[in-house]
């Protein structure tokens, strides 16, 4: 470097040129949006309302405040999922309208003042919400981190104080003796307990009080309270659409929210963006920055209706409830456009409740629906639903231009424009092209304030769809300004006809091409008066929407297909009857390729018309896919472009090389494949019959520059199996030239698409070899079933075309139980669930109970409803899990995920929704499956013969066999395997079986799994041998009868343990005691009655008297026992051969148990009395007496130890014992125990920990189950 002129090179200036502002934020040049606005600045989206169905929108985010005309940008903001709902059905009154005592949080709520807080009825609806239930997971992490830092600082103070006290004690007591030793242990334990508290700290977050009321005009609500219950500073908000007000939850969170009040104040819905995705999408559509117009979205004049369809309880996953409510709200709000940047893989995609509602919204209510194609490319047939659900939807792929690459991605090289590698592609399984058009698939725009960022770069078809939607908003804005009508049909036809063709681009990725605003608008203006502009021409081909020939047998000979074209009008509209009668279109049919033949003309009336087309693929290039169209043109108006198109897609698979003599596996090779950024190399391969897996090998040659990212996407098209489950995507990163391998499952006799791509942003040219090698070991069944009734199963397996090694194995990893609902209630939904045309949606709530015997991963699931969302016949399923205290623990939907549960009792509440009551009635007895992960897998052994399986000798050894060889594998019931005790008859043990093929992932949302095995438990564990008969009972028949009558009376006494039966209980008990004063069960009954029979209005003095009675009753029991004789007996061994001695020993053990129980109740009563009147010495004496009969250090006596230590003021030891007792309990601890812990924490001076414990009661002991 030469420093010319002696200047500092750091200070030198450079000619940097003009920054590409429009392309660096929201790309608008490629779509003609920028040119359109330059020419028509007032057609900037004004007058257009866009519904953004997403994760919610932040009403306070930059760019989402006002339109270009200063009108409110977001005119409605609704959570359609119910995840932000707060149950405010609890109604309170306040004499002064200034304070309320919330039964949910226990706080005294201070109400606000002013007109907004006016409440003529005096009725206040109250509820509560955990703040974390509103947050995105990233926000939860940030807030928890900040709260933990503040909490840790306070905690360190407690630790320092505890250590100071211990150090001071050691100075004063260098050699502690007697009680001082106990005191030192207590001081040490305090430090240990503080460390345990730190490790077990569970941050429940803020608990928000929610109050709603009617101010005489509107329903209002406020959210706040936090720790002090002061709501006076919290804004009193009406439903958002009424006043368009929103609020911020706090300075730390920076979470903006708005409210909606439903069902006469009984439900308050808190709405906010839970991921940032929805705000970003809204920003692309219509962000407006009056001071910085270069940051604007595509249509800054448009207004937004924000509809949250991403459920916070499911980490933002969309739900059927959220989607259908959102579509209904769109109709109610009369929006012009809908954008949905969500979707899931589904099959078939054209059916289901959600797709039906979406189609009705478009076809019956005239709302244009724009949706993303998905990000599951580069393989074909990867479009998600609802994008592939109907040709009346506008489905958008993602494209990146050279300018955007420079401005947004800061690329080192300038590359040609291209579809993004990951953009999903058509055709659909039923033959539709799938992608309507494409748009820029990235943007830097608004994100929620809680991200602490004003804007962010995101990419995906999620960004392409709102860009296209914004473009259509500009077109509609211009049309409205010119008083030109439009419809979804006319707008889509114009967008297709005017799209910019992209030569060289994959037509399955870009559809008709890049959306063009100016051209689309000009098309609409020029063609705004033809009679059928609002009519959609639906194409049906053998039940599909086009022709898609893919399998090996499909392209062997010419084929003829019947095509029916049906004009679709808005239903139930008599004004269209004349138009239907008059319709008779003379249509010219044109084929775009020579291998598709079509008649030249067809006449289409309103009832539709059918015609045949012929497809001859004989001369097409093998290994490739070929696309053609049969287009129909109105001969009177050819300038309109095609009225309809029949896509014809033909894949011509090549067959691998087979050499039976050499026994080599079938294989295809693609050598010297030349790749560049964004390049795709697609090959279709006929999978040989009986093959079950394939090896993918990619070898790169030497290359210059940085590392290479190559993608191999393989896919088979299986009927009624979603694309996600029949495809695999492998990402290979090569830092240097080399070879990498992957393995995948395949289905024999089908077609496998293999797409090799270089990622669009991976720079440099690459030469690569691709090899696909097929192998097969095919069992005759996909599921191996075993039981005690079928202890040995023979599975015949067939090897594929090449030699393979058969190596069978199986193991059981999951325990499945099933249960029927204990209740099922159907009720109509609330006001949000009355859909257009007055259709009422009903919800069925099924309640199940199950038990977990040990800590493990548990997956409750409704098997009948799994794996279906958009294609499901039902609107939704939502499964919520609660503990025995009604605490909400987790939520699953169509794709269940495991929950980590501790041993205890649980409740599942399953919600299923539909407008058809009869359908819901059929589901009222639907069983629930509960899967538990086994702590230790149960191995199933495989054998080569029946006798080997019978004798459990000679396991199946790995055996190399020739191709097309049949072999037998025997699996045997694990007779000698000890199953877990909680496995009962009727249960299932599930697992995986392999026969030599590589293992695959278990079945899930994105995988279909491999071969499975199940063991049906038809009998319980072996019964232990019956013990020898006991010694003869010495009692006479009269004595037996008398004692039986007495025992029955004691049993009856148990039923009288209630305050209203207290007198009857007392009389009968005294009578029995007078007859048999030494009968211990009577004394135990008296103790139990004194504990449970209480005056509901019992005051402190009455409680004290009752506790003293318990002490007296315990002493009477102890007095009735010869304790010396008991002690003497317990110190002796019993001769087990002496039956009389064994019988007597059992009676002594019963006596000991009664003494222990009485002593325990005495300690408990004295400890409670100690809180009211000092009697610590008596507690210590009673506890010591108990210790003479049992080891009080055992966990089951830990609570008594805690009470005794508390009476002795050894609060650290008391806390340790109580925590030991809580830890040993089955299921969640009772509230009573946690209240005791809070008292101990308070006594220790750890006030923050005590407050935290009490706050947890709101979370751990809710008044009712969470809303669904």
Annotated active-site positions, please?
54, 277, 462
The β-bridge partners of 958 are none
Which tokens sit at 938?
Answer: 């149960």
Which tokens sit at 232?
Answer: 């006076």
Distance from C-alpha of 373 to C-alpha of 394, rounded to nearest angstrom: 9
**Region at 316 (left for phi over 0; alpha for psi -120 to 50; beta for the rest):** left
Terminal-to-terminal C-alpha distance of the chain: 69
Q: Evaluate whether 667 touches 659 at the Cβ level (below 8 Å).
A: no
The residue whose two tokens read 């079945």 is: 1003
Q: Evaluate whether 411 touches 393 at the Cβ level (below 8 Å).
A: no
Distance from C-alpha of 134 to C-alpha of 86, rounded to nearest angstrom: 11
Q: Evaluate whether 1186 touches 1154 at the Cβ level (below 8 Å).
A: no
Distance from C-alpha of 1115 to C-alpha of 1111, rounded to nearest angstrom: 6
Distance from C-alpha of 703 to C-alpha of 709, rounded to nearest angstrom: 12
Quick check: helix, strand or coil at residue 856?
strand
User: What residues contact 736, with CB distance under 8 A and at least 6 apart?
Assistant: none
Taking CA atoms, 1224 is separated from 890, 902, 904, 1239, in Å, by: 23, 11, 12, 20
Question: Around Cβ 107, how many Cβ atoms within 10 Å?
Answer: 20
Distance from C-alpha of 932 to C-alpha of 646, rounded to nearest angstrom: 50
- On the 0-12 / 13-18 / 19+ scale of CB atoms within 10 A, 174 is exposed
**Cα-trace Rg, the chain:** 37
Distance from C-alpha of 482 to C-alpha of 497, rounded to nearest angstrom: 21
Q: Evaluate whether 127 touches 105 at the Cβ level (below 8 Å).
A: no
Quick check: helix, strand or coil at residue 1151?
helix
Antiparallel, parallel or unpaired: β 303-308 and 74-79: parallel
Residue 493 sits at the vertex; the CA angle it makes with 487 and 495, to the nearest 5 degrees, is 100
User: What residues contact 651, with CB distance under 8 A and at least 6 apart?
Assistant: 549, 550, 555, 624, 625, 626, 684, 751, 753
Per residue, the 3-state secondary structure of 935-997, as one string, reads EEEEEECEECCHHHHHHCCCECCCEEECCCCEEEEEEECCCCCCCCCCCCCCCEEEEEEECCC
Could you tell me which of 1107, 1147, 1098 has the C-alpha nearest to residue 1125?
1147
């Amino acid at each position: 470097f030469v420093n010319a002129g002696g200047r500092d090179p750091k200070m030198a200036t450079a000619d940097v040129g003009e920054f590409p502002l429009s392309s660096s934020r929201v790309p608008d040049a490629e779509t003609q949006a920028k040119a359109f606005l330059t020419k028509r600045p007032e057609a900037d989206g004004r007058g257009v309302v866009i519904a953004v169905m997403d994760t919610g929108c932040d009403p306070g985010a930059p760019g989402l405040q006002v339109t270009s005309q200063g009108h409110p940008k977001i005119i409605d903001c609704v959570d359609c999922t119910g995840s932000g709902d707060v149950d405010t059905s609890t109604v309170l009154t306040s004499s002064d309208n200034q304070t309320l005592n919330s039964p949910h949080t226990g706080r005294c709520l201070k109400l606000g003042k002013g007109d907004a807080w006016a409440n003529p009825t005096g009725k206040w609806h109250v509820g509560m919400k955990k703040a974390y239930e509103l947050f995105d997971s990233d926000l939860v992490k940030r807030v928890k981190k900040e709260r933990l830092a503040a909490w840790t600082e306070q905690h360190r103070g407690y630790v320092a104080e505890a250590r100071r006290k211990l150090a001071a004690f050691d100075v004063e007591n260098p050699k502690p003796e007697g009680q001082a030793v106990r005191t030192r242990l207590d001081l040490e334990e305090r430090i240990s307990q503080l460390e345990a508290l730190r490790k077990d700290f569970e941050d429940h977050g803020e608990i928000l009080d929610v109050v709603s009321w009617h101010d005489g005009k509107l329903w209002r609500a406020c959210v706040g309270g936090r720790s002090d219950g002061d709501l006076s500073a919290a804004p009193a908000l009406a439903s958002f659409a009424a006043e368009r007000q929103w609020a911020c939850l706090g300075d730390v969170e920076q979470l903006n929210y708005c409210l909606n009040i439903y069902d006469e104040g009984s439900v308050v819905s808190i709405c906010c963006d839970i991921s940032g995705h929805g705000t970003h999408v809204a920003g692309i559509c219509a962000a407006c920055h009056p001071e910085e117009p270069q940051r604007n979205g595509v249509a800054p004049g448009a207004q937004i209706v924000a509809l949250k369809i991403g459920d916070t309880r499911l980490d933002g996953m969309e739900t059927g409830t959220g989607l259908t409510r959102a579509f209904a709200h769109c109709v109610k709000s009369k929006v012009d456009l809908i954008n949905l940047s969500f979707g899931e893989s589904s099959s078939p995609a054209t059916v289901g409740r959600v797709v039906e509602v979406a189609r009705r919204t478009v076809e019956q209510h005239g709302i244009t629906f724009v949706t993303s194609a998905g990000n599951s490319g580069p393989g074909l047939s990867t479009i998600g639903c609802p994008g592939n659900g109907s040709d009346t939807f506008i489905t958008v792929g993602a494209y990146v231009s050279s300018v955007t690459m420079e401005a947004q991605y800061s690329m080192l090289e300038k590359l040609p424009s291209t579809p993004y590698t990951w953009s999903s592609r058509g055709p659909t399984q039923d033959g539709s092209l799938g992608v309507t058009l494409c748009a820029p698939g990235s943007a830097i725009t608004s994100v929620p304030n809680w991200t602490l960022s004003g804007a962010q770069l995101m990419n995906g078809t999620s960004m392409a769809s709102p860009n296209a939607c914004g473009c259509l908003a500009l077109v509609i804005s211009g049309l409205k300004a010119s008083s030109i009508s439009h419809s979804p049909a006319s707008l889509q036809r114009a967008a297709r006809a005017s799209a910019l063709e992209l030569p060289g681009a994959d037509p399955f990725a870009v559809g008709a091409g890049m959306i063009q605003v100016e051209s689309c608008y000009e098309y609409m203006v020029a063609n705004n008066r033809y009679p059928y502009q609002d009519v959609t021409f639906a194409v049906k081909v053998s039940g599909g929407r086009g022709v898609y020939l893919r399998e090996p047998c499909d392209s062997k000979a010419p084929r003829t297909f019947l095509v029916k074209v049906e004009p679709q009008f808005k239903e139930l509209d008599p004004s269209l009857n004349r138009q239907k009668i008059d319709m008779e279109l003379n249509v010219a049919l044109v084929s775009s390729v020579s291998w598709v033949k079509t008649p030249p003309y067809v006449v289409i009336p309103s009832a539709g018309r059918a015609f045949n087309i012929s497809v001859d693929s004989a001369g097409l290039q093998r290994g490739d896919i070929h696309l053609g169209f049969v287009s129909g043109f109105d001969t009177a108006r050819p300038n309109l472009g095609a009225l309809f198109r029949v896509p014809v897609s033909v894949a011509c698979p090549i067959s691998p090389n087979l050499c039976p003599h050499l026994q080599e596996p079938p294989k295809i090779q693609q050598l010297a494949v030349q790749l560049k950024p964004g390049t795709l190399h697609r090959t279709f391969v006929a999978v040989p019959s009986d093959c079950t897996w394939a090896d993918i090998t990619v070898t790169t040659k030497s290359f210059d520059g940085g590392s290479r990212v190559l993608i191999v996407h393989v896919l088979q098209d299986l009927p009624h199996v979603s694309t996600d489950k029949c495809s695999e995507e492998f990402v290979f990163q090569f830092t240097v030239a080399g070879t990498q391998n992957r393995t995948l499952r395949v289905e024999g006799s089908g077609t496998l698409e293999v797409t090799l791509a270089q990622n669009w942003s991976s720079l440099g040219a690459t030469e690569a070899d691709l090899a696909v090698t097929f192998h097969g070991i095919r069992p005759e069944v996909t599921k191996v079933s075993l039981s005690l009734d079928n202890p040995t199963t023979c599975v015949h397996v067939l090897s594929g075309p090449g030699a393979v090694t058969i190596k069978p194995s199986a193991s059981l990893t999951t325990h499945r139980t099933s249960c029927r609902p204990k209740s099922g209630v159907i009720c109509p939904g609330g006001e949000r669930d009355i859909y257009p045309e007055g259709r009422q949606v009903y919800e069925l709530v099924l309640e199940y109970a199950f038990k977990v015997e040990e800590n493990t991963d548990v997956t409750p699931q409704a098997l009948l409803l799994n794996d279906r969302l958009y294609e499901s016949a039902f609107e939704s399923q939502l499964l919520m899990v609660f503990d025995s205290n009604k605490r909400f623990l987790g939520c699953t939907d169509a794709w269940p995920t495991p929950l980590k549960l501790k041993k205890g009792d649980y409740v599942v509440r399953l919600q299923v929704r539909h407008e058809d009551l009869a359908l819901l009635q059929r589901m009222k007895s639907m069983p629930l499956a509960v899967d538990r992960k086994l702590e230790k897998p149960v191995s199933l052994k495989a054998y080569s013969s029946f006798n080997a399986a019978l004798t459990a000798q000679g396991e199946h050894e790995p055996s190399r066999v020739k191709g097309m060889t049949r072999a037998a594998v025997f699996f045997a019931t694990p007779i000698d395997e000890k199953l877990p005790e909680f496995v009962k008859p009727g249960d299932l043990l599930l697992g995986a079986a392999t026969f030599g093929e590589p293992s695959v992932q278990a079945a899930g949302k994105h995988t279909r799994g491999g071969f499975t095995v199940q063991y049906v438990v038809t009998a319980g564990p072996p019964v232990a041998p019956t013990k020898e008969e006991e010694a003869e009972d010495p009692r006479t028949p009269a004595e037996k009868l008398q004692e039986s009558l007495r025992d029955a009376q004691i049993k009856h006494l148990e039923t009288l343990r209630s305050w209203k039966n207290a007198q009857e209980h007392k009389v009968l008990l005294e009578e029995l005691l007078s007859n048999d004063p030494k009968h211990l069960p009577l004394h135990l009954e008296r103790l139990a009655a004194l504990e449970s029979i209480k005056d509901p209005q019992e005051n402190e003095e009455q409680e004290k008297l009752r506790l003293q009675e318990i002490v007296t009753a315990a002493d009477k029991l102890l007095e009735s026992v010869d304790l010396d004789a008991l002690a003497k007996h317990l110190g002796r061994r019993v001769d087990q051969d002496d039956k009389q001695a064994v019988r007597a020993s059992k009676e002594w053990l019963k006596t000991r148990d009664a003494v222990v129980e009485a002593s325990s109740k005495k300690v408990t009563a004295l400890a409670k009395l100690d809180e009211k009147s000092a009697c610590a010495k008596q507690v210590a004496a009673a506890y010591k007496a108990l210790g003479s009969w049992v080891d009080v250090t055992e966990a089951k006596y830990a609570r008594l130890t805690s009470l005794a230590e508390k009476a002795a003021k050894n609060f650290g030891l008391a806390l340790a014992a109580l925590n030991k007792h809580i830890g040993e309990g089955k299921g969640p601890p009772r509230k009573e125990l946690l209240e005791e812990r809070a008292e101990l924490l308070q006594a220790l001076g750890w006030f923050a920990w005590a407050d935290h414990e009490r706050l947890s009661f709101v979370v751990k002991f809710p008044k009712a189950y969470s809303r669904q």
